[in-house]
Chain A
Amino acid sequence: MADPRVIVVGAGPAGVRAAQALVEAGLRPTVIDEGRRDGGQIYRRQPEGFARSYPQLYGTEAQKAKDLHDSFEALRPHIDYRPETLAWNLTAGQLHVVAGGERTAVLPYDSLIVCSGATDRLLPVEGWHYAGCYSLGAAQIALKSQACSIGKRVVFMGTGPLLYLVASQYLKAGAQVAAVLDTSSLSTRIRALPALAARPALLWNGLKLVAMLRSAGVRLMAGISPVAVTGDDERGVSGVRLRDAQGREHSFECDAVGLGYHLRSEGQLADLAKCHFDFDEPSRQWLPRIDEDGRSSAPGVYLAGDGARILGADGAEAAGRLAALAALKDAGRPHAVVEMPQLRKRLATMDKFRRGLLQAFPWPHQLASQLPDRAIVCRCEGVSAGDLRATVRDLGAQEMNRAKALCRVGMGRCQGRYCGHAAAELVADAAGLPIERVGRLRGQGPVKPLPMSVPLAVEEQA
């Protein structure tokens, strides 16, 4: 029997560990990655010629980052590695890729392991379209990759563990952090402690970050409601305004803002593979259905890492390996199956922690549905909260794809990545429907913008 053709999408923690398990079993997988180097977002490697040390770049996670990079270096001779390559579309048994923005190919597969990672979940706020507003993830990439700060004086606003991590990384790098403003209250975090105790080391790290920020004199506020990012079209961001838990208004001057409300799974490839999605109540997101090993509802398609469930880097490593073992088993090439129960157990613990994080740092959906009419929701297409409400009220939209068709929400470059979650909250609120009833924006290729200069594709023989 010929070796199954296996493609791994993504070279972050999940993708690398998946590829490693496949290589151990004697296969030569293809690894597609958008990045210029391996590591994914969390263990993003700096460009060649940059000389920051592992502890400088990755802090407490330095050893894990080094282990992952070293593992990948060792895999290189045994895999077909394609960096700077976008899996832009997917059809039954075929992955459509474009490399370097210019070389197209069609790659046939028997098994596909999608480790597509996560992006920031964003909540619009009035003024978030001014230059100087970044997502937390983008703020972190600027620092990790290029050693750049997004501004001289930065406010971080939103919620979730990344809020404190990025703020502390900026502080360590020498940037001025004006404030860290969290929409979650201290009491929700305290209530989540039992679940968070599932991973005591991680909980301890988080507490240390907060203590470090506080002792450095950074203003930390909890239970806030963002009011606006202030600024103008010419000069961009000049500050933020917010209300504290008691309803008093505060403002901070700054020239850049990092925004983020925890993370969202990148589900486009799973969607194009026609995987079934379910509404996940704790995160108020639609997630692809997977079994405990990462099998999706689409035959031959496996999902692992933050692209399937936001479990963080350790969870991604375990899920990536488990998905690969499942794929091997399903292909009649059982390998290291004895490890599978152990990996499942680790993931169950991590899922408990995931739920704890969602409890500690809840998505403040009421802030989305209460946005003032003038606030821009869809930055790509300039669709305001008022436009969305009118689409529901006057045009009868009761569902996200209908709202998209009628008012363009989610039709721009980001294809709803930035605005889709908040837009769904607004549509649900205006229509008087529970959030799960308004559905989700359907994924449509290309996964990311496709240059129109690309040539016709050739089908590669595996």
Chain B
Amino acid sequence: MSSQHVQTDVVVVGGGLMGASAAFFLRQRGVSAVLLERGLVGQQASGVNFGNVRRQGRFLPQLPLAHRSRDIWGRLPELIGHDAEFIATGHVRVVYAESQMADVEKYATDAKHWGLDLQILGRSELRKRFPFFGPEVIGGSYSPNDGHANPRLAAPAFGRAAKRDGAQVIEDCEVLQVEKSGQDFRVNTSSGLTVTAPAALICSGAWGGAMSAAWGEPVPMVPKGPTMAVTEPLPYGIVPVVGVSTRIEHEGVYFRQVRRGNIVFGGGRRNPAYLDGRRANVNPNWTLGQLHELRRIAPALGKLNVLRTWSGVEGYMDDDIPIMGPSAKVSGLYYAFGFCGHGFQLGPGVGDVMAELIATGASSTPIEPFHIHRFTSVPAAETAVVNA
């Protein structure tokens, strides 16, 4: 293998939506960046998720970041030359039980202080606006400016834009070892390429835990796979993204119709995922469970056919909050991974914030709740050996 060496300002490990958008926004700030991706950009969790650009329902301290990201979603064509099929269709969360309605109402009240205006809709108002809901649905909460986008397109589009603007985006290039000598990180890869940089950003999703652990910052994370599927197309008519607010896992399904007409759905139970195999497989019984739940939300969906199912590898933290921010132990090292199945909406904002943080030393959007120091205590390692 040819050995080649590149010096850059920031080496980004992992070409998912977080890494690709970080590389893009680093270039926007005039910072040089090399993005290393073991497979293809956007191939793992970033490419297989539901495509929800949803703010309502999130952990409230995450809303400033979600707002920043939502702003970027609306400006994608001018920024990256591609809309990733983002449309602000609105998002409606529906409930089956009065007790859950109270939760949704409380969330709407609290979210207002965080800058998110939600509309509470009762049974008749909900049906007037969205006649497809079934009789079990008693009400919901509507977020008019949320929407959805195409996860298959978003991360690759950021990757191409980063490249267009001068980042080196290197695919099929696995990181074998990251070590720090002096001020620089030195990254050895499977293709023989060595990258040195004073800053390293780890955006390796479900595989991020192995990387942070190698720096003495282990985190409690497990990989899981979403249960996803798509129907045959039908005339476009279901505009908002629909999800169920519930405490019962298998009830929590969601769906959206794309302009082309197909209905994408997911939620409910998750599947085991395998870091080594880089795969997760759909349990067919979970798909059947989703069909049952979808018929409860919108009975007419029972007349369609499912064309395809899929899953992928997502990283879930035990507190359901991602890792984002500087390392607590190693200067120049940054993390953005483990987005617990809700990272797609945040992706562009995460890239923008990480670029700002690395370039200026601070983020204008509060991200302290996501710092890795909430988990770490042991001293740092001198050399991190990954996958060796």
Contacts and interface: CB of A to CB of B under 8 A. Distances in A.
Interface of A: 88-89, 91, 96, 104, 106, 381, 395-396, 399, 402, 405-406, 408, 411-413, 415, 444-446, 449-457
A98 to B, nearest CB: 9
Contact of B308 (A395, A406, A415): A415
A452 B308 contact: no
Nearest to A272: B281
B285 A106 contact: yes
Contacts of B310: 444
Classify the interface of chain A: helix, strand, loop or mixed: loop
Nearest to B294: A452
A91 B311 CA distance: 14
**Closest 6 A-B residue pairs measured CB to CB?**
A449-B305, A89-B284, A405-B152, A450-B306, A453-B302, A96-B284
B281 A91 contact: yes
A411 B264 CA distance: 12
B156 A454 contact: no
A445 B307 contact: no
B385 interface: no
Given A88-B284, A89-B284, A455-B288, A405 B47 contact: yes
Contacts of B6: none
Contacts of B156: 395-396, 405-406
Nearest to B231: A452
A383 to B, nearest CB: 11
B153 interface: yes
A378 B283 CA distance: 29
A104 B288 contact: yes
Interface string B241-280: 0000000000000000000100000000000000000000
A257 B214 CA distance: 63
Contacts of A444: 308-310
16 contacts: A91-B283, A395-B160, A396-B156, A406-B156, A408-B260, A444-B308, A449-B232, A450-B287, A450-B305, A452-B231, A452-B294, A453-B291, A453-B303, A456-B285, A456-B288, A457-B288
Contacts of B40: 399, 402
Contacts of B292: 455-456
B307 A412 contact: yes
Nearest to B163: A396
A256 B233 CA distance: 27
A292 to B, nearest CB: 29
A292 B294 CA distance: 46
A156 B47 CA distance: 42
B304 interface: yes
B153 A452 contact: no
Interface string B41-83: 0000001000000000000000000000000000000000000
B231 A411 contact: no
Contacts of B288: 104, 454-457
Contacts of B294: 452
A399 B291 CA distance: 32
B279 to A, nearest CB: 10
B95 interface: no
A404 to B, nearest CB: 9
Given A91-B284, A408-B260, A457-B285, 6 more contacts: A96-B285, A411-B230, A444-B310, A449-B307, A452-B304, A457-B288
Contacts of B295: 452-453
Contacts of A454: 288, 291
A452 B285 contact: no
Nearest to B48: A405
Interface in B323-352: none
Contacts of B307: 411-413, 415, 446, 449
Most buried by A among B40, B292, B307: B307
Contact of A452 (B152, B281, B284, B305): B305
Interface string B145-182: 00000001100100010000000000000000000000
Contacts of A106: 284-285
B134 interface: no
